[in-house]
Amino acid sequence: MKQDIRATIGQLLEWVSVRGYCDSYKIHYKSTTNQLIRFMDANGIIGFNTSVGLRFLREQYGFVPHSKPKRSDSFRLRTMQMLSEFQLHGVPLPRNRNREYVVPIGFRTATERFLAHRRFIGIVERNMSTVSLYLERFFSYLNGCGVTEVPAITIPHIHGFLLFLTGFTNQTKNHTMRTVRQFLGFCFSNGYHPTDLTAGVPSVHYNRRSTIPSAYSYEDVMKLMTFVDRANPVGKRDYAVLMLLTRLGFRCGDICDLRFKNINWERNIISITQHKTGEPLTLPLLEDVGLAIIDYLKFGRPRCDSDVIFIRHRAPIGPLVSKSFYDMVSGYIGKAGLRVQGKKRGPHALRHSLASRLLEENVPLPVISAILGHADTNTTADYLSIDIEKLRRCVLEVC
């Protein structure tokens, strides 16, 4: 029998406190969980689970499941999810991808063979880590339900897992359930499960083009760059990183892994193997980008044995990690006072901004695809929605 929700709330509060969560987070957490307890008491509810949490959010705040949560609801939804995870596993499920993934012993053989099969058919390693993350969440949920081996998985377990994913976006739920479907299909085909459960795995539909990608104008991007203090070593590094984001549209993973060997100074080109797709990409080393990198290497980069160009300036000295880029870009957007209502503040918004500017300059779509490293021009077509001026020209006059 699951423990009382009050005990879970107290233990989770201790868990977040030990891990250094800020005071404002803990204040919001206490407020939400106090209301949850009052709600459960008023309705005579004894045990907590994901369904109870969703009912609480719906009746207390008007939250609609399977819709994009408002910013004010996102924290409460995450709290309900963490409580459910903590009850099932004693800890919230990890979200960091840069780690070893935990596969319970009863699922290990089937999982290892499934992952080997995915690699054999050409799935790039970055996507393999995402597959491993989704399966780890699925197995963690199953273990919490008392399911410890593949043959014991049933359709109700699959539907329960989808409900468990309520705090994630429809896109993440879609990709997660697709991975579960592929895994269960593999298990049936290879004798790990006696029944083909694939038809019972729900599909989560989402419109990947239903929202306009975040983008900033050329003037805003230039303004942002002026707020970088290029007189100090960290500023020199940040400026070079921002130049790669805004001028060449590099992804964060590719900047983190950029090495001295990737730059041909004599030919003025940068050649990399893309972290996301595994495909090669060669771009011209624009003069201003090259000068920014040289300035950092000569006058800003700490001494380090690593052949990675961009490194941390605080101990332990070593390569940057992708998650540090959001704080960097968001910080400069804040310093520049850019209007961010309805826009994202991370590095990918600068990549979108480059695509938008190229569209405004009538650069052909295949060329933009090549610059951004897209294997399919349909991916680049998403950026058409941010070329507002061209959209205005397409609007028919109202009679």
pLDDT at residue number 96: 56
pLDDT at residue number 151: 96
Residues 6+ apart with CB under 8 A from 142: 107, 148, 153, 157, 161
Q: Which of 354, 360, 156 is nearest to 242 (CA)?
A: 354
| pLDDT 10s digits, 159-182 | 988 888 876 778 889 999 999 999
pLDDT at residue number 158: 94
Q: What angle do CA 79, 82, 84 make, to 5 degrees?
A: 110
Domain 105-200 falls under CATH 1.10.260: no
Q: How many CB atoms lie within 10 A of CB 112?
A: 11
Q: Which residue has the tokens 């390569």?
A: 319
Average pLDDT over residues 121-147: 83
Task: Give the domain ranges of the chain.
Answer: 5-89, 105-200, 218-394
Contact (Cβ atoms closer than 8 angstroms) between residue 107 and residue 139 = yes
pLDDT at residue number 362: 74
Q: Which of 300-304, 358-362, 364-368 shows the lowest mean pLDDT across its residues? A: 364-368
Superfamily (CATH) of domain 218-394: Intergrase catalytic core (1.10.443.10)
Q: Is the pTM of this model over 0.85?
A: no
pLDDT at residue number 246: 86
Q: What's the pLDDT band for 129 if we cut at 50, 70, 90?
A: confident
Order the strands of the 269-273 sheet from edge to edge: 263-264, 269-273, 280-284
The residues that are catalytic are 251, 276, 348, 351, 374, 383
pLDDT at residue number 227: 92
Q: What is the token pair recorded at 122?
A: 């050409």
- Exposed (0-12), middle (13-18) or buried (19+): which is 392, by Cβ within 10 Å? exposed
Q: Compute the distance between CA of residue 350 and CA of residue 217 in angstroms, rounded to an integer.
A: 10
pLDDT at residue number 50: 78
Q: What's the pLDDT band for 371 if we cut at 50, 70, 90?
A: confident
DSSP states of 225-260 as a string?
HHTS-TTSHHHHHHHHHHHHHHHS---HHHHHT-BG
Q: What is the token pair recorded at 78?
A: 């995450």
Q: What's the pLDDT band for 112 if we cut at 50, 70, 90?
A: very high
Average pLDDT over residues 234-243: 94
Average pLDDT over residues 66-90: 75
Q: Compute the distance between CA of residue 356 and CA of residue 220 in angstroms, rounded to an integer.
A: 13
Give the HSE-up count for residue 311: Cα atoms under 13 Å, Cβ half-sphere: 19
Contact (Cβ atoms closer than 8 angstroms) between residue 81 and residue 166 = yes
Q: What's the pLDDT band for 351 if we cut at 50, 70, 90?
A: confident
234: amino acid identity, one letter: V
**More confident call, 368 vs 103:** 103
Instruction: Evaluate if residue 197 carries a pLDDT over 90.
Output: yes
